[in-house]
Structure 1
Amino acid sequence: MNGPGTQVQHLDGIRVLDLFAGPGGLDVAAHFLGYKSIGIEWDRNACETRYAAGLATIHADVSVMRKNRFDEIPRSVEVLAGGPPCQSFSVAGKGAGLQALERVKQFIRRLVHGESEAEIDEDLHNLGDPRTALVLEPLRWLIKAIETEDREPYKAIVLEQVPTVLPLWEVYAEVLRSGEGRLNGHKYEAECWVLRTEQFGVPQTRTRAVLVARRPGLGAVVRPTATHLPFDRHRGDRRKADPRIFGVERPWISMAEALESASELDGSPVDASRLRTNGSMEFFVISNYGSGGDPKNRGRRDSSEPAFTVTGKVSRNKVYRNKADFEANEPDRFTIPESGVLQTFPHNFPWSGKDQAQQVGNAVPPRLGMHVLSNALRGEAPLTEELRAAATWPAVPPATAEELRAIGCGDQSRCPPESHKVSPVRRRSAP
């Protein structure tokens, strides 16, 4: 079952390492661009989705892998990618990382210039939210590769986070360009930007801070070219904006367009008919979040507009087919496959495990990932046929999923503590 031959088959030729991989947003993007990837993910449920999708995975803590199991990463890896957990930096979270932004900038420089990692870790621990330290992990992985014999520095680096992290990516770019300290003279061309997902064909509004870096000789790093108009909720007739202003011809993709297209594919679990009234798809969505900071003022989007940012609470958004449903307080909800489509996952992506809504919301939208990865690895936008193919995920035999599970969780003692603990079944007392 999981002999050496199986290991080689699944791990041979891997070029992309995805830290904090989640259910596979960047891995899905890499797949449709023709690159094999492997992801490190600590959440067991996300790992179950990855196994079902045929994605090579190590169920582990990113820090533990770097410190104790670095030799298990295939030597064919050339690209370091990842999106460290964003809760401490997000405006939706408590903002511990946001408050400590200036100190974290100092940690980046201290790490590069060789200060004691034990002291840096102690200072990071004192920030309060342990997730804040994880934003340093990609840099630590790069340094580890540089300082490890028989390893080469990564040829390209792709990182994404919430927009508030842009100042940290700017410091990352600064030190990567310098090649100083523990980078041992290895310099990178590096740039970072805030990108709006709807401008890259994602049917939702979401902004991400993205860093792209690559070794000199691979071409200058330039901002990915937008393919669609930005969405402006304050503009009256939103589809009549002059595209010449933005240099593109296509409007953003609406919820209705995305769900209709997905429902027309063979074997699709997306059923657009349930969202139609008299044959017309004109539903509207009431957000789970307040608008303008007022929790009572729920935002509203029509089906002709992009979705709100898809979060782990996406299943709480209320979907109404018409005014009558709204007045009767009879809302529908987006299903997991529908939520995945709004994130640009393939319509038939095999969501598995528990907390699937959270998995969907935590993921990088694969279509954005395709644009960013293609920009980083090839210096150009993904091909039209690659984007078209990304609508459907290839079938994965159950045997393949089991082989990948054996690789990722074969020795459960090496998985994150308590992650495979099964709660005892309570026995009912005899009557």
Structure 2
Amino acid sequence: MTSTAPHQSVLDEPFVLDLFAGPGGLDVAGRALGIPSLGIEWDKSACLTRYAAGLDTLHADVSAVRRDAFESLPPEINVLAGGPPCQTYSVAGKGAGRKALSEVKDYIKRLMAEEQIDKDLEKLSDPRTAMVLEPLRYAIQATRSPNRENRPYDVIVLEQVPAVAALWEHYAEVLKETGLPDGTKYEVVVDVLNTETYGVPQTRSRAVLIARRAGLGQPSLPEATHRAYDPKEWNRRQAEARQPTLYDAAVPESEARTEDGLLPWRSMGETLAPHGRRTPFLVRSNYGSSGIPGRRGVRTDRQPATTVTGRISRFVVFEHFHESTVVYEGPRFSMDEAGMLQSFPPGYPWSGTARAQQVGNAVPPLFGAHLLSAALGLPAPDPDVMGEPWRPTTEEQRAKLRNHGCGDAYECTARCPRPQDQAPVRSSETKKTK
């Protein structure tokens, strides 16, 4: 379902609480739309990136904030958003995935019946299974918060890998039919969307849930603005071109415009060339997108990138095409370039360690802006605004943000998650899903 109604925001003053906020993809989206946000993130390096970017942040465990500090959250927050870690569901459709999904459905049922489940959750072999319950637990907690006068969240926006769609469908069923324990119900839409159809220069599929509190109207999915990338069609066009070189076989994107007004998908070269990346180039990746084999392998700069992951620094870039198929290895993508392929603004201040992982784990900001716009009934975001260079924060601002997020202007404190807790649990099962 896509929106056809006139744009009119369902909220006068939206304010987003971003759970599992990462380095700031959804917060960057909110800033471009003029929507304030507060992110909760437990990874120190991601928080350092957020502080450097000037994003309001709590360096904390999402579960701990819900248990111990919920009343300290700004009461005006009315939009709940996030993408809980769902690696335990990445094998959905197989035995382990079905078992995990069945397990979490049972916990959701018990939560709605107001049963205490924390002791049982502590026994789970992989704590990330419990994390997927947090958005629902926050929604319930909001209705019991004196600081909020027991007001429920008006809008909920969730996104994760496609395998989580079955879980979002169960969330939708509960929010629509059962409702929260206080009786609040939501209108909900769930689907799997492709980020390149929203102008993100990479093929990346995401399962999304958009919910509005009953009485605020039926939510809609964001309308696509760009054409979907079809690897079979691309290969067919290359074959028909019958050009002598690998690169020249690519048909110009301008020939790919559709009659329905959709723009061509945005390419890597279109995104990176204005910022100094030499074209033409090829990128070789051993990582596919959402398990679709046709999206693997080698792509030219006239195509969107494959899914940007924590392996982006390993992608090999070849350049210097001439009249043969001989190519030369060029510089690999910088973190700034990798961020731009995720639709982050140029100059975004990636900080700390594991920067490639931060980039790969982030919500593409342009996609996030489309989700928030659809959820709130706002016009589609302006991609030109999203692409403007990021304005660096001052040292004074950064210190102020870190003092709020960590309790000290220059370092973490005892209230921050312990460094030894930063790495996720790794089991033989989770290794197989990567």
Residues 294 and 226 of structure 1, relative CA distance in 2, 3 Å threshold: closer
Q: Work out whether 1:141 is the aligned partner of 2:138.
A: yes
Aligned residues: 384
Percent sequence identity over aligned pairs = 51
Change in 2 beyond 3 A, CA 1:121/1:303: same
1:200 equivalent in structure 2: 198
Secondary structure at the aligned position of 2:156 is classed as strand
Q: Which residue of 2 aligns with 1:7?
A: none
Structure 1 equivalent of residue 157 of structure 2 = 158
The TM-score normalised by the length of structure 1 is 0.82
Distance, in Å, in 2 between the alignment partners of 1:232 and 1:404 is 43
2:207 to 206, 209, 213: 209
CA drift at 1:255: 0.2
Does the CA contact (< 8 Å) of 1:96 and 1:132 recur in 2? Answer: no
> Could you tell me which amino acid in structure 1 is paired with residue 218 of structure 2?
A
For 1:180-199, list aligned pairs within 5 A. 180=179, 182=181, 184-199=182-197
Determine the C-alpha separation between the residues in 2 that align with 1:52 and 1:95.
43
Partner of 2:430: none
1:365 aligns with 2:380: no
Structure 1 residue 102 displacement after superposition:
2.4
Take 1:292 and 1:223, find their aligned partners in 2: how far apart are those partners?
20
Deviations 1:269-296, CA, capped at 9 Å, x for gaps: xx22xx2xxxxx120111033799899x
Does the alignment pair 1:111 with 2:106?
A: no
Unaligned runs of 5+ in 2: 1-12, 238-250, 423-434
Q: Which moved more, 1:13-22 or 1:162-171?
A: 13-22
| Contact 2:172–2:189, Cα closer than 8 Å, also in 1 | yes
1:404 aligns with 2:409: no
- Report the Cα offset of residue 119 of structure 1: 5.0
| Aligned residue in 2 for 1:130 | 127
Residue deviations 1:50-73 (CA, integer Å, cap 9, x gap): 000000100010001100111221
Where does residue 391 of structure 2 map in the other structure? 394
Distance 1:233 1:285 in 2: 15
Shift of 1:112: 1.4
**Which of the residues 251, 258, 277 maps onto 2:264?**
251
Once the two structures are superposed, the pairs formed by residues 278-357 of structure 1 within 5 Å of their partners are: 281-289=279-287, 299-322=297-320, 330-357=329-356
Change (3 A) 1:331 1:389: closer
* Counterpart residue number, 1:413: 414
8 A Cα contact 2:226 2:264, kept in partner = yes
Question: 2:245 matched to which residue of 1?
Answer: none
- Structure 2 residue 219 is the aligned partner of structure 1 residue 221: yes
Offset of 1:132 from its aligned partner? 1.9
RMSD (CA atoms): 2.8
Which whole-Å deviations, capped at 9, do the CAs of 1:37-85 have from their partners, x for residues lacking one? 1110000000000000000100010001100111221111111110111
The letter for the 2-side match of 1:50 is R
Secondary structure of 2:414's counterpart equals helix
Q: C-alpha offsets along residues 149-185 of structure 1, whole Å, 9 cap, x if unaligned?
A: 2421111111000000001111111111125352x11
Task: List runs of 5+ in structure 1 lacking aligned partners.
Answer: 1-12, 264-270, 276-280, 422-431
Q: Distance in 1 between matches of 2:18 and 2:95?
A: 25
CA distance in 2, matches of 1:258, 1:388: 14
Q: Give matches, 1:158-177, under 5 Å.
A: 158-177=157-176
For residues 292 and 353 of structure 1, the distance between their equivalents in structure 2, rounded to whole angstroms, comes to 28
Offset, 1:394: 2.2
TM-score by length of 2: 0.82
